[in-house]
Amino acid sequence: QVQVVQSGAEVKTPGASVKVSCKASGYTFTRHYVHWVRQAPGQGLEWMGMINPSDGYRVYAQKFQGRVTMTWDTSASTVYLELSRLRYDDSAVFFCAREGIHDSDDAFDIWGQGTMVTVSS
């Protein structure tokens, strides 16, 4: 079935980097943009950016510019999110989500299960 599966929970110290993976299956990997969304404990959803696995085109939210890198591996049908210079307030669940193709821009129709990242000394 169509799904995206994320890597497991991470614990990092302040100042470190974290890399989260999102593996797609059940659909043509290069046909759908993939987005990343952050959710701090008890808080709402925050869009971080997106990547086109077809050509690597990326757009990052201004808030994360300079700290976030999104990459992809077509052979593995996987996209990656790397967040550097971690702070305590980066502790959150990170979701990847597939963008649909009803329109040229679309909603997120398939979500990963989420990856908890804890920043702690």
Partner 1 sequence: DIQMTQSPSTLSASVGDRVTITCRASQSINIWLAWYQQKPGKAPKLLIYRASALQSGVPSRFSGSGSGTEFTLTISSLQPDDFATYYCQQYKSSRTFGQGTKVEIK
Binding site for partner 1 (CB under 8 A): 35, 37, 44-47, 50, 59, 61-62, 95, 97, 100, 102-103, 105-109, 111-114
Instruction: Compute the distance between CA of residue 57 and CA of residue 22 in angstroms, rounded to an integer.
Output: 17
Residue placing its CB nearer to partner 1 in the complex, 14 or 26: 26
* Nearest residue (CB) to partner 1, 75 versus 105: 105
Q: Which residues contact 101 (CB under 8 A, 6 or more apart)?
A: 31, 32
Nearer to partner 1, 6 or 78 (CB): 6
CB of 34 to partner 1, least distance (A): 12
Q: What is the 3-state secondary structure (H, E, C) of 46-66?
A: EEEEEECCCCCCEEECHHHCC
